[in-house]
Amino acid sequence: MANKEIVIEPVTRLEGHYGIHADADLTAKRYVDAHSYVTMFRGWEIILKRREPADAIWITQRICGVCPYPHALASVEAVDMVYNAPPPPMGILLRDLMHGAEQLYDAVLGCFVLEGPDYSQQIVEKSNPEWWEEAKKTKAPNSEFHGYQTIAEIMTALNPLTGSLWLRSLGLAKLGRKMAALLGGKHPHVNTLVPGGVAMTLTPSDLEQYIAMLSQHIAFSKEFIPLFDDLCDFILSMGYEDSGERPMNLLSYGAYEDPSAYTAKYEDMTNWGLKRKISPGVVVKGELITRDLVEISVGVREFVNHSYYTEWTSPELEEDPLGNPLASEHPWNKETQPEPGPPRDWKSKYSWATSPRWQHWKKNGEIHVLEAGPISRLWITALSGNGSESTGKSLRFTLPRATIVGYPVADEFTFEWKIPEKVNTIERVRARAYYHAYSAYASLSQLLQATELIKKGQTKVWNKYKKPKHGVGVGMVEAMRGALAHWVVMKKKKIHKYQIITPSGWNAGPRGPNGELGPYEEAIVGTPVTEPSPEEELLGVDVVRVVRSFDPCLACCVHLYTGDKNVRQIDII
C-alpha cells in the first residue's frame, strides 16, 4: 500500500484556527485515516463565571463575528429560563426575524464565498481537469432561472474576486446583515436582546423595510437553488458521491418559535420545541428516534479524552428540573479546565475541541456521534411530519411572487428538498442552499404573524420579571452551521457554571472515549483522491472540500508561533 501523509494547517477560507492530518492510500486512491484538531483555546466559559447571567447575552456574541446572533439567541433563551422571564409573542417574533436575517446572509456567504470556490474554474481546472472539460460541454438544465448556459459558466462565475456570482453574493450577504441590524441596532453583535423579550420600539416602517429586503432574498432564492442543483448534480455525476460520506447520524435543536407556544419554561420545552418551524430531533442510522427537546438536552455528553482539558469532578446536579438523570459529562455538570499538551499526539490529546456525543439514555444507553448542520435540520424536519411542508421524504414549500428589479424570476416558486441517499460533501452544500429558501419562507411567515399582532394591538415586546436567586437554564437553537446550545447554572444571582457547545464543536471534535472518530474525521476517511498527480504532490483539495462542506466556524484572530521552523505555503485558494 502506497500511503501518503498530509497536514493542512491552517485550513483556509473558514473562520478559525484549525488543522487536518490525513493519510491517503494512493493505490486505492482513498483517504484511510484522519485527525481533526483545533489549535487555540480562548476560555469564554471561564470568563463568564461570577458575572450577571444576562451579561452572557452580549459577551457570548463575541465568540464569532460570522454567526454572533445564534449565540445571542441561545444565551437569551437560557437566561429567560433561569430568570423565569417569558417574552410576549411580538418579542418572540422579533427575535426570530433577526435570526432569519442572519441565516439568509450566512447561507449566501457559505455557498458562494466559503464553499463555492472549491468548485470554481480556478480550482477545478487545476485539480480536476477532466471535470472542467466535461463542464464546458454540459448544459445547465435550469439555465432559464439563473441564466448560465453551461456548468463551466457557473464554475467561472464562482471564481473568487472576479466571478459574477461571487461578487453578487457579497451584496446579498450585506442585505441580510442590514435586516438583522434594522431590528438589532447593529450587526454583528446585536444589542436589543434582553431577558423577557427585546429592547426596542417597534414601528410599522421597521416591518416595511424588513419585507422590502426580504423580498430580494425571496427573489434570489429562485435563482440560487436551481443554480446549486445544477452544480451539485454535475459534481455527483462525475463520481464524487463518496466524498465526505459518513453514517446518517444527525442532530437538530430546531428553530423559529411558535410565538403562542414558547414559554421559556423547562417543563414546557418538549411542547414548544415540537412547534418550531424547524423540528428538533436525533436521527441514528437514518431513523428519527426522538423529537423531544428535553430528551435531547439530557442526552448531551462532552468528553475530553483526546482534548487539552482535565476531566471534572463528580456531578453537582444529579437530576434536571423534571427529575431526569444527569450524567457527570452533561454540560450542566461540566467544568472547563484547560490542560495544554504537545501538538499532534494522536494517541493522546491533540485538540482544543472537545468530543460532544449524544447518549440514548431512555433506551439502550448507546453513545452516538452526531452531525449538525443544514442537512441535519432539513432531514429531521422532512421526517418529522412537522407541518404541511413535511412529507416524510422531503420538505415542500412555496415562495410567493416577488417582482424585484434585477432579479429575473418573479413568479411564485415551489421548492422541494428531497432526503438524499447519502450524507456527503455535495449534499451538505445543496442543503445549505435550500436552507436559504426555507429561511426566507419561515421569515415571511413570522413577518405575517407580526403584522396580525399589530392589527390586534398586541405590540408589547417585553415582559417584566422578578429575578430569582438560583436556577438553571438552557437555550437550544440552530446556527447556520447547526445545533448550538448554552447551559447556565445560577447561584446567588451570579453565573456558577456556563457551558457552550457550538455546531463546529459537534462536527470538528477529535476521537471520543471509545476511540470513535469525530464527524470530520469520519467524513474524510473513505473520501476519494481525485487530484491528477497525487504521487508528486498531494495538495489535499478533496480533504478541504469535505471540511468546508460543514462550513466550520471556529474562533478568529489566532497567532501561531513556530520558532525557527520553516513553513512552506502552498496556495490552493
Question: What tens digit of pLDDT does each residue of 245-293 get?
Answer: 999 999 999 999 999 999 999 999 999 999 999 999 999 999 999 999 9
Q: What is residue 13's predicted lDDT score, i.e. its pLDDT?
A: 79
Which cell numbers in the block locate residue 542?
A: 478533496
Radius of gyration of the CA atoms of the chain, in A: 23
Q: What is the pLDDT of residues 66-114, one digit of tens each?
A: 889 999 999 999 999 999 999 999 999 999 999 999 999 999 999 999 9
- Per-position DSSP letters for 181-209, written without gaps between them: HHHHSSSSS-S-EETTEE-S---HHHHHH
Q: How confident is the model at residue 196 (pLDDT cuts 50, 70, 90)?
A: very high
Strands 413-418 and 367-368 turn out to be: unpaired
Residue 188 lies in a domain: yes
- Segment 206-220 shows an average pLDDT of 97
Q: What does the mean pLDDT of the chain come to?
A: 94
**In this model, does residue 569 exceed pLDDT 60?**
no
CATH code assigned at 306: 1.10.645.10
Dihedral of CA atoms 160, 163, 167, 172 in degrees, nearest 10, equals: -100
Q: What is residue 17's predicted lDDT score, i.e. its pLDDT?
A: 81
First to last CA, the chain: 30
Cβ neighbours of 22 (radius 10 Å): 25
Residue 545 lies in a domain: yes
- Segment 31-35 shows an average pLDDT of 98
Residue 572 lies in a domain: no
Q: How far is CA 435 from the centre of its chain?
A: 11
Q: How far apart are CA 573 and CA 571, in angstroms?
A: 6
Q: What is residue 559's predicted lDDT score, i.e. its pLDDT?
A: 29
**In this model, does residue 570 exceed pLDDT 60?**
no
Q: What is residue 65's predicted lDDT score, i.e. its pLDDT?
A: 80
Single-letter amino acid, residue 408: P
The percent of residues in the chain predicted with pLDDT above 90, rounded, is: 90
Q: Contact 68/61 with Cβ under 8 angstroms?
A: yes
Q: What is residue 313's predicted lDDT score, i.e. its pLDDT?
A: 82
Rounded to 5°, angle at Cα 279 from 273 and 282 = 100
Residue 235 lies in a domain: yes
Q: Contact 191/58 with Cβ under 8 angstroms?
A: yes
301 to 8, 73, 360, 537: CA distances (angstroms) = 29, 22, 11, 40
Which cell numbers in the block locate residue 156?
A: 467561472
Residue 367 lies in a domain: yes
Residue 573 lies in a domain: no
The β-bridge partners of 462 are 197
Q: Contact 223/146 with Cβ under 8 angstroms?
A: yes
Residue 242 lies in a domain: yes
Rounded to 5°, angle at Cα 289 from 552 and 305 = 50
Single-letter amino acid, residue 550: F
Instruction: Write out the residue range of the structural domain in which residue 250 sits.
Output: 3-549
- Per-position DSSP letters for 324-389, written without gaps between them: -B--TTSTTT----B----TT-TTS--BSS-EEEEE-TTTT--EE--EESHHHHHHHHHHHT-STT
Q: Where are the alpha helices (DSSP H) in 407-538?
A: 425-455, 503-508, 519-524
Q: What is residue 540's predicted lDDT score, i.e. its pLDDT?
A: 95
- Segment 512-540 shows an average pLDDT of 95
Q: Contact 243/426 with Cβ under 8 angstroms?
A: yes
**In this model, does residue 556 exceed pLDDT 50?**
no
Q: What is the pLDDT of residues 372-413, one digit of tens each?
A: 999 999 999 999 998 899 999 999 999 999 999 999 999 999
Q: Which is nearest to 402 in space by CA: 444, 430, 431?
A: 444
Which cell numbers in the block locate residue 129?
A: 481537469
Single-letter amino acid, residue 142: N
**In this model, does residue 568 exceed pLDDT 60?**
no
Q: How far apart are CA 282 and CA 300, in angstroms?
A: 11
Q: What is the pLDDT of residues 460-472, one digit of tens each?
A: 999 999 999 999 9
Q: What is residue 15's predicted lDDT score, i.e. its pLDDT?
A: 64
**In this model, does residue 314 exceed pLDDT 90?**
no
Helix 204-237 to helix 425-455 angle (10° resolution) is: 160
- Per-position DSSP letters for 13-27, written without gaps between them: SSBS-EEEEEEEETT
Q: How far apart are CA 28 and CA 242, in angstroms?
A: 13
Q: Which is nearest to 435 in space by CA: 353, 503, 508, 485?
A: 503
Q: What is residue 370's predicted lDDT score, i.e. its pLDDT?
A: 98
Q: What is residue 10's predicted lDDT score, i.e. its pLDDT?
A: 87
Q: What is residue 537's predicted lDDT score, i.e. its pLDDT?
A: 87
**In this model, does residue 48 exceed pLDDT 60?**
yes
Domain count, the chain: 1
159 three-class SS? coil
- Segment 336-352 shows an average pLDDT of 94
Residue 563 lies in a domain: no
Q: Which is nearest to 79 in space by CA: 262, 261, 264, 257?
A: 264
Cell numbers 497567532 correspond to 559
Exposure of 148 in the CB half-sphere (CA atoms within 13 A): 26
Helix 204-237 to helix 89-108 angle (10° resolution) is: 40
